[in-house]
Structure 1
């Protein structure tokens, strides 16, 4: 039986609209590595001068080197609806179900016409695999800084942190979780409130699945860039050294602490902070991934003793 031309066009239009509203979330390591070639995310700048004392048997003199600042893709942060379904295909087995973390997906409602707002996401933070490619790319602009992470190392797997991630213990009673307007992404005044950072758990009351994934990524980035949090994780923090100033704590809405590059369901060549005004494609399978880029400053060592640095105004 053949469809009439008008009906065929209607079916085609519906299919096109469906694809534009949702997409498959799977992504591979190769695609993630190639995403590091982004000048807008790199944001390479010369910001000052470093001074070094260089000594030999014939005396000492002061040498200088250029102080630079740029962003480094430290980690891939994935948020997905069901345990073991990380959209980063090669890493999905790391979040496999265990005795205390099984299943997932959103809650249920008895009202068919009512959108369920209780959403859940597992979230993984894994060292970005594109370190070598990025270093070569960044070196094309000059001296390049190293990041705080190792490729493919898991810094946070929510399935291994079930008490805090699934039950919100103890952060559900923290002042940040109980005080409206404190530690939120977006705000009510602009009618664009995406969600709260605390408690840093896998549940959120939000009807938009994309925004839910973004909040989970922000929560995971928030805890992994701090020491001493009540979660099972590894901190993504490097120690300052002579001529090296690593990134610090991530803060929502503040690009000077870090920014996000969407990897899936759409691959972006630029970075932004949440809430962002770009396309917000909701993944058909509830899986999202972003690269977390963080700012580092450094200068090339040109002597035995670091004397200090001067930043340009």
Structure 2
């Protein structure tokens, strides 16, 4: 009952913003730090993030009034941009201009200023909104050549303003073993530690703004890819069905088989990576936002095959998929 109320509340939010989405002038490239639906949707085209593969074959039982026969269809695997995850310091400061009002009321973020140089504390607001490119992939998916995303474009799946208690106070996750045990659940590589996943709140011990924003984005992905978390959110989780669809596993930091990030703002990249996304000596100066706000598309792996009968009998894979 509670999850239904949250879902209805989200639906109300997105409906209240639907008119501005159609009235806002569109562009195909970001201007400064700002992006919109057209910018985001166009970014799925010329890039290597999808990683499209033919991985096997599916078997179906098709019956008519006269007989039953076994039909086959090709099994494919590829990544899909599910949501756009944005992190920023101030209320209504999301780079995605069309949805800035969705997270209205979020606490003001903080970062290093001349008066706070003694601290490494950074606080970020965050959101996860359905990727508008899903509409394009769903249209193609009806032909059986791509898989259907479990998300809906423009629908909010996480808003830090709604998750006030956990996001601003870190409760109760600050007492979890993942929060109190060193080296447990960290975003790091080659000795470069960006931050801890737990507690999954807006507070990060990190002076580098890009790294702090990336850690917060990773925390949001960690929350929404799991069921039953002590946060207010709408989960991106579906059990594997028997109709030839295989959905993504939970996001795991540092594991490119479970997810990939594509930067959208302050600049749009045509490739995907995981955090940390550079060498230990990288300054990430080309990715720093002058407004301290960032957006990434979260890509996750799917596998599917076109339905050819009434009953799914099974499948044979010759290439291991990321959903297994």
TM-score by length of 1: 0.85
Report the CA distance shift for 1:39/1:102 in structure 2 as closer, same or farther (over 3 A).
closer
Q: What's the counterpart of residue 132 of structure 2? A: 129
Report the CA distance shift for 1:115/1:263 in structure 2 as closer, same or farther (over 3 A).
farther
Contact 1:27 1:88 in 2 (8 A): yes
Q: Structure 2 CA distance, aligned partners of 1:284 and 1:247? A: 34
Q: What's the counterpart of residue 7 of structure 2? A: none
**Structure 1: segments with no counterpart, 5+ residues:** 1-22
Q: Structure 1 CA distance, aligned partners of 2:278 and 2:237? A: 29
Are 1:106 and 2:111 an aligned pair?
Answer: yes
Where does 1:1-313 land on structure 2 (aligned, <5 Å)? 24-97=32-105, 101-106=106-111, 114=117, 116-135=119-138, 143-187=145-189, 190-241=190-241, 242-277=243-278, 281-313=287-319
Q: How many residues in Structure 1 have an aligned counterpart in Structure 2?
A: 283
Q: Structure 1 CA distance, aligned partners of 2:119 and 2:46? A: 37
Q: Structure 2 CA distance, aligned partners of 1:276 and 1:146? A: 28
Question: Quick one: higher RCO (CA 8 Å, sep 6+), 1 or 2?
Answer: 1
Give how far 1:148 is off.
1.2
Give how far 1:273 is off.
0.7
Give how far 1:96 is off.
1.1
Moved more, 24-33 or 177-186: 24-33
TM-score by length of 2: 0.82
Contact 2:87 2:94 in 1 (8 A): yes
- Residues 212-257 of structure 1 show CA distances to partners (whole Å, capped at 9, x for unaligned) of 1111110001000100000010001234221000112111111111
Secondary structure of 1:40 counterpart: coil
Structure showing greater Rg: 1
**CA root-mean-square deviation:** 2.0
Contact 1:108 1:116 in 2 (8 A): no
Give how far 1:115 is off.
6.0
Q: Structure 2 CA distance, aligned partners of 1:122 and 1:184? A: 20
Q: What's the counterpart of residue 6 of structure 2? A: none
Give how far 1:57 is off.
2.3
- Residues 23-64 of structure 1 show CA distances to partners (whole Å, capped at 9, x for unaligned) of 942211110010111441111001111011111222211111
**Structure 2: segments with no counterpart, 5+ residues:** 1-30, 320-324
Report the CA distance shift for 1:79/1:110 in structure 2 as closer, same or farther (over 3 A).
closer
Give how far 1:137 is off.
6.4
Secondary structure of 1:132 counterpart: helix
Q: Structure 2 CA distance, aligned partners of 1:37 and 1:135? A: 14
Contact 2:36 2:97 in 1 (8 A): yes
Secondary structure of 1:309 counterpart: strand
